Structure 1
């Protein structure tokens, strides 16, 4: 609101000066006020806005000079002042825009580096599976946000996680980093998949308990610091183990049909263990035969809305994709998502696609 008023302020001053000149109070000198309009416009507008404000001020000066027959040194002085201030404002505005662009480019490079550390691209092949990943940030110019994913080869099998941090911005990135760090460590030495998830929950608790930059406790963050996540494991058996903590269920593509792997027990998100009404059950097992594909995704995909306010029909979109590689599969889903939303995402979106290979090609040889 204040920014919008600031953009219109130079033109409001021009109209105000014109009103004075057309009123009985036209003896009031408005030249100094009009001379300031280009400088004021440079605070919120580019060269075109500055020149537009200067043209308006110049027009008022010329109109009133002709109307009151007040041609003289004062008028020419006002016009010269407008010219000098306009030129200086354009030069300063261009310099500031160049500086902001340099700073923005630097921030983007830092964001890209952070993305490579936080959200590393998954390998095209891990053990008995082929896979691909995709991350779409909702914020304009952003590279990372509150969604997370990871896949790693361990002695227990291929383990993967997809999660969604409540909230956006740097606090969400901080929690995402804590969860991913805990997963990357625990996935290699915890035989039980549930214990891997418990380590991720403990990391959130530690992160939320840390003091803020201002030196105050994060009691407010403890009510908001939670992450919905689904953790899965694929090993030598033709099964997939799944632990779902308040996250949208994975979708299985089998023979061209999509099925949701819905958990029998609803568990709260990570970080909300106080709402756990039952003891954490064992990881649930689902058939995962050669040729099957498993899509782990965040709610930014299924809750993406069209201009008509319709949700994105992800299962139907998956069934419409013809046989292709995992990366091509996600690319086609991405294009369908962009068409559905008109190019605007209201929330971050992450997808991880896993394809089970057959026994001969997919299982390690002794």
Structure 2
């Protein structure tokens, strides 16, 4: 045995080295325990924030009435697991003297700014749908409400209104067998007619709310499409069609709609879409999802 090795072995057994080793071991164990405790506290905080976010969302988004005039409907709102802040998806439906009027929208962004924008749009929609005869006029009122909200000191600056723009789609179902649509930069709705899903793409694309100053096209006008008894109309946010699987493929919404058995209720239909989304994404939604489905009864 060499002198160096012998000296090392003797040093290793000394009380000083043993004490240092034990001290290092205690510090390491304490660090692990503290890290686990901090992680548990952080997870608890995230869970609490998530519960508050869901509660706030439920206050802003009212339950969808099962029956409205000539339509039978249901709604669904799913919060992405990857997010803890309040999202910007919005929807509502009301029976008016002009027919059933619906709105689906998506505020780009999260948190308090999104909540204020959602509340402004839905507040204007719920107030004006009953007395504004033109659907485009209702949309204009919602846009004006966003502008007023941006002008309130301490609310959110106009830059945030533009950067976190709001897409919106309004539909009106009168007594006639048609549906009138005003689309401001939102994904087109899908109508399911005799087992085939068709996107109702606007012929004159319009900008999202808050960006009208950047658009030089003609004024927004409603567009009409056939909506016959037995047809189904799906309004949704982009969290549905932008959901990806492990291979980075988008969710095939039209094909999935066509595969759902006929005879299901609107709520059952949305439940089937939900399950298909879970299978496609392996239960890993990265964006919030809102959907409204209505059936034409007569």
Using the size of structure 2 for normalisation, the TM-score is 0.86
Are the structure 2 counterparts of residues 183 and 332 from structure 1 closer, same or farther at C-alpha, using a change threshold of 3 Å? same
Native 8 Å contact 1:175 1:225 kept in 2: no
Q: Which has the higher contact order (CA 8 A, sep 6+)?
A: 2
Encode CA deviations 1:327-355: one digit per residue, 9 max, x unaligned. 11111112222222333333332211111
Closer/same/farther in 2, CA of residues 67 and 233 from structure 1, 3 Å limit:
farther
User: 1:138 and 1:284, CA in 2 relative to 1: closer, same or farther beyond 3 A?
Assistant: same
Structure 1 pair 108–356 and aligned structure 2 pair: CA distance change class (3 A): same
1:134 matched to 2:76? The reply is yes
Is the contact between residue 225 and residue 271 of structure 1 (CA under 8 Å) also seen in structure 2? no
Highest Rg: 1 or 2? 1
TM-score under structure 1 length normalisation = 0.71
Q: In structure 2, what is the Cα distance between the partners aligned to 1:68 and 1:168?
A: 63
Q: Where is the helix percentage greater, Structure 1 or Structure 2? A: 1
RMSD (Å) for aligned C-alpha atoms: 2.7
Tell whether 2:279 aligns with 1:334: no
Q: What corresponds to 1:356 in structure 2?
A: 296
Q: Deviations over 1:1-21 (max 9, x none)?
A: xxxxxxxxxxxxxxxxxxxxx
Gaps of 5+ in 2: none
Q: Name the counterpart of 1:291.
A: 230
The 5 A counterparts of 1:116-155 are 116-140=58-82, 142=84, 144-155=86-97
Match in the other structure for 2:206:
267
Q: CA deviation at 1:167?
A: 3.1
Unaligned runs of 5+ residues in structure 1 are 1-25, 27-64, 359-366
Q: Which of 283, 287, 292 is the equivalent residue of 1:347?
A: 287
User: Alpha-carbon deviations, 1:95-151, whole Å to 9, x = none?
Assistant: 545544443343233112201112223122222211111223335253741222111
Aligned with residue 207 of structure 1, among 126, 146, 149: 149
- Cα pair distance change 1:141/1:311, threshold 3 Å: closer
Q: 1:318 to 1:186 in 2, by over 3 A?
A: same
Question: Which structure dedicates a bigger proportion of its chain to strand?
Answer: 2
For 1:1-366, list aligned pairs within 5 A.
67=9, 69-82=11-24, 84-85=26-27, 88-89=30-31, 92-93=34-35, 95-140=37-82, 142=84, 144-212=86-154, 218-323=157-262, 324-358=264-298
